[in-house]
């Protein structure tokens, strides 16, 4: 009896069933059930919204963090204009003009985001 168990386990682990057999169909069904029925929270893989965040600043100026994905398709010349349009669409960025836009780089010199310095 235990020989059948180990043989069945070996076939299951090594995927040693012929295509079209009921064992093969059960294995495919289990895989599909895992894919479609496992909740997203199980893997802690949530989509992160693209965002603009207002940061604390001094001397009446405002600083905004702009995610790199929001500006990755724009050229260097049009980046300031695009950042200004994105900032104007935010409730906290109305009636502000971007004075300076600085890219923030990580250790591999890839752009992680932009710091937009504004004035009222």
Q: Is 90 helix (H, G, I), strand (E, B) or coil?
A: coil
- In the chain, the percentage of residues whose pLDDT exceeds 70 is 91
pLDDT at 110 > cutoff 80: yes
For 64, 74, 75, 91, the CA distances from 53, given in Å and listed in that order, are: 5, 20, 22, 11
45-92 confidence digits (pLDDT tens)? 766 666 887 888 777 778 888 888 888 888 877 888 888 888 888 776
Sign (positive or negative) of CA dihedral 62, 63, 65, 68: positive
Residue 58, pLDDT score: 72
Query: b vs e for 72-99, b when ≥16 Cβ sit within 10 Å of the residue's Cβ?
Result: eeeeeeebbebbbebbeeeeebeebebe
List the strands of the sheet with 111-119, edge to edge: 52-55, 62-67, 111-119, 97-105
């Amino acid at each position: 009896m235990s020989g059948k168990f180990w043989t069945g386990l070996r076939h299951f682990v090594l995927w040693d069933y012929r295509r079209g057999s009921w064992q093969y169909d059960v294995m495919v069904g289990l895989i599909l059930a895992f894919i479609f029925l496992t909740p997203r929270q199980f893997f802690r893989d949530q989509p992160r919204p693209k965002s603009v965040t207002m940061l604390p600043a001094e001397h009446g100026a405002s600083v905004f963090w702009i995610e790199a994905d929001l500006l990755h398709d724009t050229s260097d010349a049009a980046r300031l204009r695009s950042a200004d349009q994105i900032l104007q669409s935010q409730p906290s960025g109305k009636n502000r003009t971007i004075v300076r836009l600085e890219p923030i780089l990580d250790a591999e010199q890839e752009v992680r985001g932009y710091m937009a310095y504004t004035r009222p």
